[in-house]
Each structure stands twice: as structure tokens, then as C-alpha cells.
Structure 1
Amino acid sequence: MTPPWDPPPGGPYARRLTLTVEKYGRVRTVRLGCTPTYGTHPRGPEACVMLSRAQGDPAYVRLPWVGCSQQYDPVSVSADGTWNDHYIRYRRTFDNPCELRAATGAIFAF
């Protein structure tokens, strides 16, 4: 049996990202592969659907508007990997966790 993050090279496995969330100096990291979904992301299938619509780049995720408070409670995220043979590198700091969820949905929900 293949470990969850060591699929054979090539083919549909060209869609995989390492996702990181940092808050209060605590860093959490998961790995996510799509088509088929694999890795350590707890909401992998949902995150893969969102990323597929955005061609693998969290910057292009479009979700319905959600109102968030003006509270400053910063959270930083990153995504690194490949999607259909294109390198993805995404970095952003959101003012609070609500803004993160409103902008990225399940992608950084871990």
C-alpha cells in the first residue's frame, strides 16, 4: 500500500500542495494531493474542489461574501507545490481567522 504522501510520480499526481497556517507562533502544516484526494488534510475532498475551480491557486478562490468583524487577530498562510505542472506559491496574512475562512473556505481549515 502506498503511503498517503508518496504517490507514484506523474499522471494525476501533478496536483499536490503543502499548506501552512501560522497563528501566535504556532505553525500547522498539512499536505494535500488532488485527483485522487490524498494526504493529511482533514477536509481534503472539499479543499480539492475549491482549488480545482481556482486552478490550484488560493488567490483565485471565489466565495460568497461573508461579513467579518474588524478585530485584529492575524493569521498567516502559505501554499507551495504544483498544480497541472505549474508551480504554486501563495503567501498571505489575514487580519483575523474569519477573513481567512471567508477568502479560502476549506483550503486552510485544519
Structure 2
Amino acid sequence: MMRAVGTITLCGAFLLGASAPAVAAPKPKVQLKIVDAVKGGETKTVWLHCAPVGGTHPNARAACQLLEKVKGKPEQLNVSPNAVCTQEVQPHAVVIVGRWYGLAVKWAKVFTNGCQVKAALGAVLSI
């Protein structure tokens, strides 16, 4: 009899636990959509989340660290200021929009080629 009561109690606890709502992951404090459109080529889009780090960005941790240094202002990035780039012309239109710790981010720039993009944005645009 005691064994039956214990089994019923255990089953009841299991059912109550199973019906409890799942705890949602915390919403990231930074959510940025990053788009790189190459003239005559493909357009790549990723999501970058920081605090906590995540999203679809392939190098999210490094990208978040770079943006932290400039307080989320992509226009202030200049990762490799002394980069030597060729005169190749293959325009890249880069757009970064979203939220940075509650502040709106809306930034866009056209670069002459991929080397200039990498020199300016580094890991932020390693997509």
C-alpha cells in the first residue's frame, strides 16, 4: 500500500513538472541584422546577437568584441587602418540595422571592394 502511494505521488509530481511552462532564454541586448550585397554577386545576411552572444553570424564573439569597442557604432570601426587594398572595383553595399542596448542602429555604406570592407569592419562582416 505504501509503495502504491509513493508511486502515485511520484507520477503526480512528474505530471505537474511536465506541465510547467518552459523557461525562455533571455532576449539578447544586441540584435543586429548585417547585410552584404555584392554588385553582380550574391547578397549575404546574418543576425548578430550580443549579451548573450549568438545569432547566425559565423564569428559572433569577435564581432561583438569589435562593436563593444566603438559602443555599437559601425561608422567608427576601422579595424585595419593601414591595409593595402588593390584598385579592384567590385562594390559591396553593407547595411547594419537593429538594436544596441536599446538604441537604434541604422548604418549603410558602399565600399569599392571586399578588401576595403574587411579593413573597415573586420570580423563584423566575416559572413
Same fold, TM exceeding 0.5? yes
- Which has the larger strand fraction? 1
Unmatched segments (≥5 aa) in structure 1: none
Residue type at the aligned position of 2:37: E
TM-score by length of 2: 0.75
- 1:25 Cα deviation after fit: 4.8
Root-mean-square deviation (CA, aligned residues, Å) is 1.9
Unmatched segments (≥5 aa) in structure 2: 1-21
**Which of 9, 20, 24 in structure 1 is aligned with 2:35?**
20
The answer to whether residue 53 in structure 2 is matched with residue 37 in structure 1 is: yes
**Which of 66, 78, 94 in structure 2 is aligned with 1:62?**
78
Once the two structures are superposed, residues 39-64 of structure 1 have per-residue CA deviations (whole angstroms, 9 ceiling, x without a partner) of 00001101010011111121111323
- Between 98-107 and 60-69, report the one with greater CA deviation: 60-69
CA contact (8 A) 2:78 2:119 kept: no
Residue type at the aligned position of 1:60: Q
The answer to whether residue 110 in structure 2 is matched with residue 93 in structure 1 is: yes
CA distance in 2, matches of 1:25, 1:69: 19
CA distance in 1, matches of 2:101, 2:30: 6
CA distance in 2, matches of 1:109, 1:46: 10
- Between 78-87 and 23-32, report the one with greater CA deviation: 23-32
CA distance in 1, matches of 2:109, 2:25: 29
Once the two structures are superposed, residues 69-108 of structure 1 have per-residue CA deviations (whole angstroms, 9 ceiling, x without a partner) of 1111111110001112110011011000000000000111
CA distance in 2, matches of 1:32, 1:97: 20
Moved segments of 4+, more than 6 Å: none
Provide closer, same or farther for how the CA distance between residues 66 and 56 of structure 1 changes in structure 2, counting only shifts above 3 A: same
Aligned length in residues: 104
TM-score by length of 1: 0.85
- Which has the larger helix fraction? 2
Provide closer, same or farther for how the CA distance between residues 86 and 68 of structure 1 changes in structure 2, counting only shifts above 3 A: same
Query: Identity across aligned pairs (percent)?
Result: 29
